[in-house]
Amino acid sequence: MKLLVCDPTDPQAIAAMRRAGIEVDVREDITPEELEQIVADYDALVVRSRTKVRAPLIDKATRLKLIIRGGVGLDNIDVAYAESKGIEVRNTPGASSNSAAELTIGYLFALARRIPQAAASMKEGRWEKKAFSKGVELAGKTLGVIGLGRIGSLVAQKARALGMNVLFYRRTPVEVDYATQVSLDELLARSDFISLHLPHTPETHHLVDAQAIAKMKDGVYIINCGRGGTVDEQALYEAVVSGKVAGAALDVFEDEKEEQGRRFRDLPQVICSPHIGAGTVEALERVGAEVAQIAIEMVGRLHA
């Protein structure tokens, strides 16, 4: 089997696949144009969030049998179209969940105590003790988690351990002992902090829009370490400017190719990072191990 690695993948995983007899080519900075030219030569692709596998590319992938998404979300892959062509699509949903959850918790602290802003002030030679001595404690506050999948569940459990009251919204009912399920409107109205952990689909597009923000408490904080597009960024920008939203933390954006969250750069109340939720050494190793396992299993089926 011939496999192309299109995005950064743990070297140990690449070595493991090669030991299993897979011919692995590594092109971690391959462009969409270059990928279109060579995809017909491969039986399998390994991608992360950077590489998009859409219908036009799939049509050119005449040998392709397997797409492995190193990570959770599959919104960069036309899954149904790929499967209609007989291509199996797999992901590694559990491997990076804890890393994304820990980033979310870090953002909770950063917003509550304005840590990035205080650090930047010190770097600029200022001693603004009074300005940064008006933070809030997380204990006793209410966190609303929108989407209680793997990552949302971990965030809820960690927040509960910090002494927060945790509410969650999801479409299907589920009982957990660390959070209370409520309607979306109730979550919006009661939460001091709101964290999104949703896939980006037509149903979740701009789920948090101007109308949703209007239902929130004055001075609410919003975190999105899930998927870009679930928050209406223009509505969020306007809510921060007006003071309705006290602060926001964003690791994902609607347009990560061009706009990249630039609209928020002039707002000191908003802190951003370049989609690093899964960006830990441990997550990279776990993702790589699962990617290698999936690819090796495919080889075994092909030779069975």
Q: Which residues are catalytic?
A: 227, 256, 275
- b/e burial code for range 158-172 (CB count within 10 A of at least 16 → b): bbbebebbbbbbbee
Distances (CA, A) of 1 to 21, 68, 69: 8, 14, 17
Q: Count CB-CB contacts under 10 A for residue 185.
A: 11
Neighbouring C-alpha atoms within 13 Å toward the C-beta of 258:
0
> In 3D, which of 22, 19, 21 has the Cα closest to residue 3?
22
